[in-house]
Amino acid sequence: MRQRGYGKDTGLTIRMFFTSFLLLLLYCFFGLFLFSMGMPLEILLILGIVMVAFQFFASDKLVLASTRARVVSAEEEPKLHAVVERLSALADMPKPKKIAIMDTHVPNAFATGRSPKNSVIAVTRGLLSRLTEKELEAVLAHELSHIKNKDVMVLTWASLIVVISGFLMQMLFWMSIFGGFGGGGRSGRGGGGQAMLVIFAVYIGTILVYFISQLLILTISRYREYAADRGGAILTGSPLTLASALTKISGDLARIPEKDLRTVEHANAFFIIPALSGKSIGNLLSSHPPVEKRIEKLRSMQADLEGPSKYTDG
């Protein structure tokens, strides 16, 4: 059976593959580097995994608590629930466990949770009041796509290397201040100097790994945003509605200088537009692609939907 397609985005897939490959290389390099420097690899790994696992399994609760979002029942917000339910049915996924509302005028929305069954979707009052019915649906579809794509799982675990290198960086910093590996190891002036040298080398290497891994993960995060835009647009069948919602939200975010959501910028939640937006942070350091680029992609998707000869094999 042939099916009228939604167009393809092969470029994005290739870039995602390339970035993930680089991240994998970095993992290998960092592991070997620490091993060759005689660092306690197992302990670091276990510590990192425990820290990430905590973030992962508590993601919904952590984010709900830090955003002070209030979970609303189907009786309180029947419409919101009905839209989410309808989109979930179309996406063939269970309805997210919790739907929450944040009491702020800043229009924004986020999704989090370790699995579709344990997921949370939250919207702000500002979003509800500013967007049209269709635009709200488009934003919810974007958030549902994050859940369907398991973005919390992908990005939380991918950032294991950030957690480990960040932790090691701090540890080495204090170690270099207080000097040496405690009581163990060599003694004497020459040996102590050598140990300091090793620590210094590891310190520099770890700093490098920390920053590079963070850049790579931010890049992957931006790609996941594109993918969620795409998934959301497919769900609602209208890429341009999402585009218009993005325009409204980003315009309002720039205009309203509220701090509410900036404090909760969180790796475990996927906001539709980063609360920490604005010209001050460069594209490379942003978790989201620039809105103009996202809109451009959505427009080309619409062209694919309408295109006369865009068929893909089903």
Partner 1 sequence: MGLYAFLFGRNKLKKPKREQFFSIIGAASAVEERENLSFSHYAGVVFSPVESLFFEELDKELRDLLKISSLSTNTKYKILDDSFGARWVSFEDKDFEDLVEFAHIINETFIDHGYGDRLIASVFGFIFQGKKAYWIYYSKRGKFYPLVFDNKEKRDHQLEFRLANIMTSENIEVEKSDRWYPLTGIPF
Strand-strand pairing, 109-112 and 120-124: antiparallel
Name which of 98 and 148 has its Cβ closer to partner 1: 148
Indicate whether 10 belongs to the interface with partner 1 (CB under 8 A): no
One-letter amino acid for residue 21 of the chain: F
* Cβ atoms 106, 258 nearer than 8 A: yes
Size of the residue set binding partner 1 (CB under 8 A)? 52
Neighbours of 62 (CB within 10 A): 18
Indicate whether 135 belongs to the interface with partner 1 (CB under 8 A): no
Give the nearest distance from C-beta 86 to partner 1 in angstroms.
Answer: 5
Name which of 233 and 253 has its Cβ closer to partner 1: 233
Residue 250-279 contact track with partner 1, rule CB under 8 A, x = bound? ------------------------------
One-letter amino acid for residue 117 of the chain: K
Residue 143 annotated to the active site: yes
Name which of 108 and 238 has its Cβ closer to partner 1: 238
Among 59, 60, 67, 95, binds partner 1 (CB under 8 A): 95
Indicate whether 22 belongs to the interface with partner 1 (CB under 8 A): no
- Report residue 311: phi and psi, to 5°: -115, 140
Report the C-alpha gap between 227 and 34 in whole angstroms. Answer: 34
Report the C-alpha gap between 15 and 13 in whole angstroms. Answer: 6
Report the C-alpha gap between 227 and 39 in whole angstroms. Answer: 38
Among 23, 64, 227, 249, binds partner 1 (CB under 8 A): 227
Where do we find the tokens 């040298």?
197
Report the C-alpha gap between 203 and 201 in whole angstroms. Answer: 5
Indicate whether 134 belongs to the interface with partner 1 (CB under 8 A): yes
Neighbours of 47 (CB within 10 A): 16
Among 16, 139, 242, 276, binds partner 1 (CB under 8 A): 16
Report the C-alpha gap between 31 and 23 in whole angstroms. Answer: 12
Name which of 120 and 195 has its Cβ closer to partner 1: 120
Contact residues toward partner 1 (CB under 8 A) are 1-4, 12-13, 16-17, 20, 78-79, 81-83, 85-92, 94-95, 117, 133-134, 137, 145, 148-151, 154, 223-224, 227-228, 230-231, 234-241, 302, 305-306, 314
* Residues annotated as catalytic (active site), given as ranges: 143
